[in-house]
Amino acid sequence: MSYNAIGQEQCQSFVGSDCGRKAFQHYQGKRVYKLNRLPQCGSSKASPPFSTQTMKSYRKLPTRLTHTPGPYGEEEEEEEDEGNEPALEAARKTPSLGKRWLGAAVIVGAVVLVGTFWVIRAQSPPSGPPEKCDVPEAQRFDCYPERDTVVTPELCGARGCCFLQSSQGGPPWCFYPPDFPSYALTTLNRTDLGFLGVLTRTTKAHYPKDVLELQLQVDLETDFRLHIKLTDPNNPRYEVPLEVPNATKKAQNPLYSLDFSRDPFGILVKRRGSGVVLLNTTVAPLIFADQFLQISTLLPSEFLYGLGEHRRGFLHHLDWTTLSFWARDVPPTESYNLYGAHPFYLSLEEAGSAHGVFLLNSNAMEVVLQPAPALTWRTVGGILDFYVFLGPDPSSVVQQYQQVIGFPSMPPFWGLGFHLCRWGYGSSNETWQTVKNMRNYLIPQDAQWNDIDYMEGSRDFTVDPEHFSTLPQLVMDLHKHGQYYVLILDPAISSSQTPGSYAPYDEGLRKGIFINNTHGQPLIGEVWPGLTAFPDFSNLETHQWWLENLNAFHARIPFDGLWIDMNEPSNFKDGSVDGCTSGELDNPPYKPAVLGGTLFAKTICTSAKQSLSSHYNLHNLYGLMEAKASASALIAIRGKRPFVISRSTFPSQGRYSGHWLGDNRSEWKDMYWSIPGLLNFNLFGIPLVGADICGFSGSTTEELCTRWMQLGAFYPFARNHNTKGEKAQDPVAFSPMARTAMKEALMTRYALLPYLYTLFHHAHHWGDTVARPLFFEFPQDTNTYALDRQFLWGRNLLVTPVLESGVDSVTGYFPRGLWYDYYTGSSLQSQGERVKLAAPLDHINVHIREGAVIPTQKPDITSWMSSGNPLLLVVALSQEGMAWGDLFWDDGESLNTFERGNYSYVVFNVSQNIFTSTVLHSNVEVIYITVDGLTVYGIQKQPQVVTVNGQEIPFSYLENQVLSMSGLNLNLNRSFSIKWI
């Protein structure tokens, strides 16, 4: 048998395309079978799906078989003209495809089921001598991915694979031949949601404990979402305990169609209409062993995004890159697996449509990208559980992904303000003095944080009695000024003190909430406090223990938010103080390309026992489970929206926490890397994200910190944080010029908080991104596909930061259309071009997209003080004189305000020189907000009269076509209109 190794250039549309015809060319005259009817699963009258009784023989191969539903759901067959002699004659004359390794696939039958095709391909080797190892380099799939072995021809041959030495760092030397044995699809039945099939393997692959029989479940869950699941039907396997939607009926008009290859098994997912192949798993063998699962697919283009957490450009390069997924404590570094695991990608197709794929698997994993273009998934446990999202636009893909993993929670309003922290304040008084200095200079700040130096001996739920004795007074002062306090907690609990002297450990030991080693005793590692045990957050008893300790600590220090760090979990000892076992969980047959070379490097033994499963299965979920426990505890303690920032993350984390991008460095390149980071985490459904402004480690410079504060003012989550032993980098630590520039950037952020807060409402309710790449709004503009030095807030604000030293200008790309300078209203008409912008040290370029209404507010030094100030509405007219915007408003902290109806929602429209504000939903909070001013950009002719609700008012008009009016004093709770003539 040979694989349908179909190249990208042939596979833009399989059925009826050149690729489909070429696949037929070796099979003229062969028997073609049609499965007349698929039996219902479990029917006593069902015939074996491949039995000869249900097959019809054709004497001649048609150029194409199509099927359309008949009346009452019966299927009617339409056969294309069999007299198409030119096509058949061309097929007869086609030479062997041995050197092109396109594979030997033919569509031998099809059944239409609500627009979904089921196809079986009969296969036969091409004529002429086989040249199975003459495979193009880009299409070689690695047969010997082990990195601790020097692959030789003998080792490769022992696996039945091809060995051809190639360039260093390029394609694999040992790769699968087209006839490598795989699974065959032996039965396939219809179900209420799609299909249920059985795959069997008769020849074992080269990893131990092959699963020789698999169950294939394909559910057409929605028109936009397809669910493909491969499991062992005879032995239960670990599955990720993530709450996912349960489909109750099959999609009626899906955007996708399906083809199945019988032997070897493969699946093709195509976009209906365009026929673009989104998935094609026929290109390499499926392997499903106990601790090695692998599946490959072709990609429709080279434009691939997501797959985190890694430090890379936003657009992946398909140059034989391996990305590993294993939560790890390491400063962000290129090519390393970092703090979280997000096996989700978004792919752009050549026509600008987009789709996404999510592998719901929490085991150690790696993804290989190669220039075919193709992608290979490898994981060492669990099952293969895929979701495919059809979009078709990029924003819809992310929304559909979040319909599976859950939409992010709504943050408290104060969480969007400016946060300040450092490791190394030294004392609560020094921390307090920093806050006072910020107030003295009237620099906005909402929250003050402390790192682990507030603790006694770095132990959770303690306070250093000598240096942080005034911490309660500091927190009281913050609350008095409308500010908030956030403290750090590490999950590792000190275990070395005298029994009875440290209640968190004593109670945890008594309740049995710690992760155990294989002997059933608490696994002991080493973190900041010394010897430590690790809470098992997969155990609900641990959540209660966490709540009780937080509640008791909150009675002493009334904190407002939690910063959960070191939760990969991090361990200074590899595995434990006693090492790890020599068993298969700590030393699996295959080790993905993880930093350190072992799964227990700088974390706990993967053989460790947790309530739900082994740490081997749950490691990547540790940060998610701690975040869930922390958010729940904050709700119980404060009765308000929780604010949690976590280092380690997994899909659905946005429901419980935000994320910061880890221990970066005070370097210009780190400032750049933060942009791909925040764009990726918006793809991952965690929009509350940012990097440590000015850098965590190392010493910043005034220029770098000024530029970074300007960029950080546009992070969804904005915190300046640095390490101990370095000079201070809060705004008051710099010269008056730098301090003023930083203040102005923060004032711009605070003015835009109503707009930003509304974007978070969109994320919470619909799954929108907050910070997004330009191609989300301009998917037809290929110039935007690789841009990651600029980004958008929502669809309307374009941020173009300076990312280099010693410059006073920056070049940014402006997609086709009209753009307005946010500060002045001056217009920029672009045909889709790069534009050089002035960027002195006190300025960050921000532009408004035409057709937008941006709600802003007079800024103050805290979000609480700003929230009561009047609004100023900024209108950026389109070239047709139109604009639209909205505002979501509530009390900023109560739980589930949208779900309970305790909010206001106002829509703004501009058409035919009339601005209207329409209140669609109202609550008491909006009664106290007024609209003081309206500024309109892009009015080409000076108005003669401006009226508000029919009454003339004074106005001003500038030469750059900006109309302004102030002193309106309009209640936001009431609809109004403003007209200019």
Q: What angle do CA 687, 691, 692 make, to 5 degrees?
A: 140
Helix ranges (H only) for 563-667 are 615-618, 622-638
Q: CA 370, CA 318: separation in Å to the nearest integer?
A: 5
What are the strands, taking DSSP E only, across 673-808? Answer: 689-690, 692-693, 718-722, 771-772, 791-793, 797-800
Angle between helices 668-683 and 394-405 (to 10 degrees): 70
Give the active site residue among 464, 536, 560, 568: 568
Q: CA 910, CA 854: separation in Å to the nearest integer?
A: 12
3-class DSSP state for residue 638? helix
Of 320, 321, 323, nearest to 342 by C-alpha is 323
Residue the block writes with tokens 């198409």: 84
Name the burial class of residue 92, with classes exposed (0-12), middle (13-18) and buried (19+) by CB atoms within 10 angstroms of its CB: exposed
Helix ranges (H only) for 639-700 are 668-683
DSSP string, 18-63: HHHHHHHTT-TTS-EEEE--PPBTT-TTPPPTT-GGGEEEESS--S
Question: Is 451 among the residues known to form the active site?
Answer: no
Instruction: Go through the chain and tell me how many residues it has.
Output: 981
**CA distance readout (Å), 888 to 330, 718, 754, 922:** 39, 21, 8, 10
Name the burial class of residue 480, with classes exposed (0-12), middle (13-18) and buried (19+) by CB atoms within 10 angstroms of its CB: exposed
Of 175, 104, 168, nearest to 136 by C-alpha is 175
Give the active site residue among 366, 453, 565, 821: 565
CB 353 within 8 A of CB 359: no
Helix ranges (H only) for 524-571 are 540-556
Q: What angle do CA 881, 965, 976 make, to 5 degrees?
A: 70
Which pair of tokens denotes residue 694? 């000015």
Identity of the residue numbered 517: N
Strand partners, 345: 306, 357
Q: CA 620, CA 649: separation in Å to the nearest integer?
A: 8
Question: Is 565 among the residues known to form the active site?
Answer: yes
39 preceded by cis ω (within 30°)? Answer: no
Of 569, 486, 582, nearest to 532 by C-alpha is 569
Identity of the residue numbered 166: S
Give the number of other CB atoms < 10 A from CB of residue 499.
8
Active site residues: 565, 568
